[in-house]
Chains A and B, each alone.
Chain A
Amino acid sequence: MTATDPGVDERGAASIEGYAVPAGCCDELIEDDGAPRPHAAPLLAALRRFGPRGLLEAGLRRDAIFMQQGITFEIAGTDGARRDRPFPLDLIPRILTATEWTAIKRGLAQRIRALNAFVDDVYHAHEIVRAGIVPWSLIVSRPSFARPVHGVRAPGGVYTHVAGCDLVRGGDGRWRVLEDNVRTPSGISYVLENRLAMTRLVPELFAGHRVRAVDHYPTLLLEALRAVAPATDSRPTVVLWTPGPANSAYFEHAFLAREMGIELVEASDLVVRDGVCYMRTTAGLQRVHAIYRRLDDDFIDPLEFRPDSLLGVPGLIRAYRAGTVAIANAVGTGVADDKAVYHYVPEMVRFYLGEEPILENVPTYLLSDEKQRRRVLSRLGELVVKPTSESGGKGVFIGPQASAAEREQQARLIEARPERFIAQELVHLSTVPTETGEGRLAPRHVDLRPFAVFGDEIRIVPGGLTRVALREGSMIVNSSQGGGSKDTWVLDDEGAAGDLAPGTLPVRRPPRLPDVRYGGWHGQAQQQQQSALPAACGLAGSG
């Protein structure tokens, strides 16, 4: 730890020249008057020492390392040819305080418990429907409502094993949930790789902060998968099922399989015999107890889904129904993160848990409701409209950025199929200083996707994936649309850090080790000249 005292000498000195927080937004590291927020002061001081040059050079090293390690994504160049680009990691971290994180963590755990209860309810008792809270017609109209698993209880009662909710922070500084993601959320590999890269590229920035570690995620995930695996054996076999190298998230699939030490399988590696799932190995069929699948329900089992597709493992749903294999996330969870169902999540928290939601939704309007629709259409220019069954920012309409013609076209789309859209209030995403070329810093908008793992209990890795819109003023953070990412730091409890500073730690006395030897012919000959007698024991000259 450095002796930087936040709030005193570093405050004024560390402010960034010409840094202007966009109107109506909250910057997470810089106050409105241009001074660093207290928790970010050591970082900004370190950045200042670093200078634009240091930042630029670190950026070049970053690109070289990412290219070498293959942490890249494909992008079409101006000539149309697709080539690999290093994943755009911005070297300025985003910082969350321990207090902030505790609230987010509790809110997420609550929300995920409610979503899990909802999935169970939708495929069994329909209590929330009977209570008149969520209409049955809405559920059956969701394309992700999975009829083949109706009445099938997932092993351990857990459906949403991995959840990644997208959080945003508005101009008022409050955190809100923008989207839930309980199918196959991706991005965790970037969280881990980003941290590793940061510790290697810019270790100086960590001085003065105690940052909570993230690299135990694979352990958490593996433990969760083992916890739900229906095995009598204490060492259940868990596999990760990838659609294959052509998938855009293949890097992550391979990364997680490697980190967890489990097999990375494709559909043709798996086979179901007599209601039990196996993988084909060189030693014959080996029983599989849990599958962490990274592909949609539609491609899981050609006997049950998508009759036009021969992808998948025939009979897998039968094995699942028989309870011989756990599938994570469970089949049919998509019904819970549908954008039209999102509206009801705060109600789910109240209904299933009897608690008030800790994290709010962004105000959302259902366009199938005539009254809401009319109000939305009258102020379309201020709102965001999203198709209910798309992801990755596809088909999103942003009112303030749309032309009159685009607004009219969107209104027509809504009138034709109102149930296919929702409208949301525009959130002025918070900003974080971001390197914008030549080592200069400017505010860019960010969101946050924390990752939660649900096995025996819900565990959340500190921080998550911060996505950043690299274009000035843009609020679209998807990597497919010019977004980058940042390392997300959750600070350790500020109060406790003093008590357990490394220097005052009870030092474990190392055992008495033999001295390290240095030897060789010449060293030996010298020693022999000094003392002629004991030949062999003179060898162990200590350093």
Chain B
Amino acid sequence: MLARIAQELFWLGRDLTRAEHTARMLDGAFHADVAGVPGERGIALSWAGVLAVIGAKPPAPGEDAADATAVVPPHFGRAQIAPLLTLDTDSPASIVSCVARARERARTLRDVISTEMWEALNSFYLSLERYDLAAALATGPYSVYQEVKERCALFWGLLGRTMLHDEGRSFLEAGGRIEEADMVLRMLRVAVPGESDAAEAAGALAAGSAAGTGSAAGGREAEALALLQAVGGFQAYRRAARQSLELRGVVRFLLYEGMYPGSVASSLLALQRALETADAAPRSSPPVLRLGRLIADLELQRRTPETGRTLGEMLGRVQDELELVDHDIDERYFALAALAAVHV
């Protein structure tokens, strides 16, 4: 298969999955914001947190993109962030930008993907174009995000029904799964306090209880709930984990749970399978081998109770590895072709 086609398929999968996860996260943030939180006000799924996950630049003129993830102006709330990440065509991170890119790619891939997939994606794009998204976002963000989720699901569903099990499909799926793993990891890293934050977090919780409004446990439970709602895994967690909501359990679930399709472990496994199908020599493929080590490492971590290493560190390590996998994929499948492209 042409490297260009493969890479476009890969990124089509990534863009769509990013749009879906951004929608889920924003919906979760909306809910957490409006519905309030039992006993604790400082929740992890804050608007600033969402912005940090996506790594988008707040629309302050002249600001450097690198700063965006660090500090968000305190006045930044849902009135600024939700439109920025949903419908700002200037922001590459917004949902409409993701969908527009995905649709542009699909247009060049119309002979590779099935007609039904193309039509589903095209009408998705057109429906976002057509109606007054800003007004819809103001009156009912839920219905906007619901539509994004449903349209994405329709695309992947049609893939399952109509696309040949070929190399192209594998790259499309690989893109979707690597993006899903990446987004979930980002969200977890923002939600889980790291070493340096432990003291600060404790301070915030103490402030909460000093105000007489509830327990630290209540706050952590709320964080866990918000996280699950943001990835759409609440019901799955309840059925699979059969334990009460607490942050650590939820993080472990989203990281390790093989039965849950949205967990990092599941995504990595699916990514590995997709690459194995696509690769002519998977046994000597650096990304496949690296993934294999990462998956085995995760499984080991799952089975050994955490000693020494904190969850925060663990998440960081997994994401570093995933970044390397990403580079391996580029090099093995797309890079040579890219050089060729220059010389042509």
Q: Within 8 Å of chain B (Cβ to Cβ): is A26?
A: no
User: Per-position contact with B for A499-523: 1 when CB-CB < 8 Å, else 0?
Assistant: 1101111111111111111111100
Given known contacts A219-B245, A516-B55, is B207 in contact with A506 (CB within 8 Å)? Answer: yes
Q: Complex: how many Å from CA A251 to CA B42?
A: 33
Cβ–Cβ contact B8 & A516, under 8 A: no
Given contacts A258-B235, A517-B326, A535-B335, contact A212 B38 (CB under 8 A): yes
Please pick, from A61, A502, A514, the residue contacting B41 in the complex, using a CB distance under 8 A: A502
Does B281 reach chain A (CB closer than 8 Å)?
no
Instruction: Give, as a whole number of angstroms, the nearest-CB distance from B215 to chain A.
Output: 12
Residues from chain B with a CB closer than 8 A to the CB of A499 are: 207, 211
A61-B140, A519-B7 as given contacts; A509 in contact with B197, CB under 8 Å: yes
**Chain A contacts for B239, CB-based, 8 A:** 261
In the complex, which of the residues B54, B238, B312 contacts A258, with contact meaning CB atoms closer than 8 Å?
A: B238
28 A-B pairs with CB atoms under 8 Å apart are A58-B139, A199-B142, A200-B143, A211-B34, A211-B35, A212-B38, A216-B218, A216-B221, A260-B238, A261-B240, A492-B213, A496-B211, A500-B41, A507-B48, A509-B71, A509-B197, A510-B189, A513-B53, A516-B55, A519-B10, A519-B14, A520-B11, A521-B4, A521-B7, A524-B7, A524-B334, A535-B339, A542-B65
- Partner among B71, B208, B319 whose Cβ is within 8 Å of the Cβ of A514: B319
Give the contacting residue for B69; candidates A508, A513, A518, A528; CB below 8 A.
A513
From 323 to 340 in chain B, residues with beta carbon under 8 angstroms from any chain A beta carbon are 323, 326-327, 330-331, 334-335, 338-339
Within 8 A of A (CB), among B1-53: 4, 7-8, 10-11, 14, 18, 30-31, 34-38, 41-42, 44, 46, 48-49, 52-53
The 6 closest A-B pairs by CB, nearest first: A261-B238, A200-B142, A510-B52, A199-B34, A520-B11, A503-B74
Q: Are A261 and B237 in touch, CB under 8 angstroms?
A: yes
Any B CB within 8 A of the CB of A213: yes
Chain B residues whose C-beta falls within 8 Å of the C-beta of A524 in the assembled complex: 7, 334, 338, 341
Interface string of A205-216 (1 = CB under 8 A from B): 010001111111
The B-contacting residues of A in range 408-427, CB under 8 angstroms, are none
- The smallest C-beta distance from B11 to any residue of chain A, in angstroms, reads 4
B270 at the interface (CB under 8 A from A): no
B316 touches A511 (CB 8 A): yes
**Cβ-neighbour of B323 out of A200, A262, A514 (below 8 A):** A514
Residues A215 and B204 in contact in the complex (CB < 8 Å), given A261-B241, A512-B69, A520-B101: no
Among residues 200 to 218 in chain B, which have CB atoms less than 8 Å away from a CB atom of chain A? 200-201, 203-204, 207-208, 211-213, 218
Contact A493 B7, beta carbon cutoff 8 Å: no
* Per-residue A-contact encoding for B89-128, CB less than 8 Å = 1, 0 else: 0011100000001000100000000000000000000000
Complex CA–CA separation, A539 to B338 (angstroms): 10
With A210-B36, A528-B342 given, can you name 6 additional A-B contacts, CB distance below 8 Å? A58-B140, A61-B139, A195-B35, A201-B140, A507-B71, A542-B65
| Closest Cβ neighbor of B207 among chain A residues | A500
Q: Are A215 and B35 in contact (CB under 8 A)?
A: yes
Q: Which of A219, A514, A528 contacts B221 (CB 8 A)?
A: A219
Residue of A nearest to B57 (CB): A543
Q: Decide: A536 and B213 in contact? CB cutoff 8 A.
A: no
Interface size class for chain A? 35 or more
CA distance A215 to B4 in the complex (A): 48
Alpha-carbon distance A413/B37, docked complex (angstroms) = 51
Identify A206's interface contact among B34, B197, B225, B242, CB under 8 A.
B34
* Residues of B212-266 contacting chain A, CB below 8 A: 212-213, 218, 221-222, 225, 235, 237-245
| Residues in chain A near residue B186, CB distance under 8 A | 513
How near does chain A come to B315, taking the closest CB pair, in angstroms? 8
Residues of A within 8 A of B153 (CB): none
Count chain A CB atoms within 10 A of each CB in B71, B208, B213, B235 and give the residue with the most: B213
Inter-chain contact A510/B69, CB cutoff 8 Å = yes
Q: Which residues of B contact A84 (CB under 8 A)?
A: none
A203 interface residue (CB < 8 Å to B) = yes
In the complex, are the beta carbons of B211 and A199 less than 8 A apart? no
Contacts of B197 in A (CB 8 A): 508-509
Q: Which residues of B contact A252 (CB under 8 A)?
A: none
Interface pair A532/B35, CB less than 8 Å apart: no
- In the bound complex, do residue A500 and residue B211 qualify as a contact, i.e. CB atoms below 8 Å apart? yes
Q: Is A131's beta carbon under 8 Å from chain B?
A: no
CB-CB under 8 A from B207, the residues of chain A are 499-500, 506
Q: Which of B42, B53, B238 contacts A505 (CB 8 A)?
A: B42
> Mask for A48-62, Cβ within 8 A of B = 1, else 0?
000000100110010
Query: Which chain A residues lie closer than 8 Å to B237 at the CB level?
Result: 261
A195 vs B143: C-alpha distance when bound (angstroms): 16
Pick the contact of A216 from B4, B105, B139, B225 — CB < 8 Å? B225
Residues of B within 8 A of A211 (CB): 34-36
Q: How far is the CB of B146 from chain A (nearest CB, A)?
A: 9
A203 and B34 contact, Cβ closer than 8 Å, known pairs A496-B211, A513-B186, A520-B101: yes
Residues on the A chain within 8 Å of B4, using CB: 521
A68 to chain B, nearest CB (A): 10
Q: Does B309 contact A (CB under 8 A)?
A: no
A-facing residues in B50-70 (Cβ within 8 Å)? 52-57, 65, 69-70
Shortest CB distance B181–A (Å):
13
Q: How far is the CA of A335 from the CA of B63 in the complex (A)?
A: 69
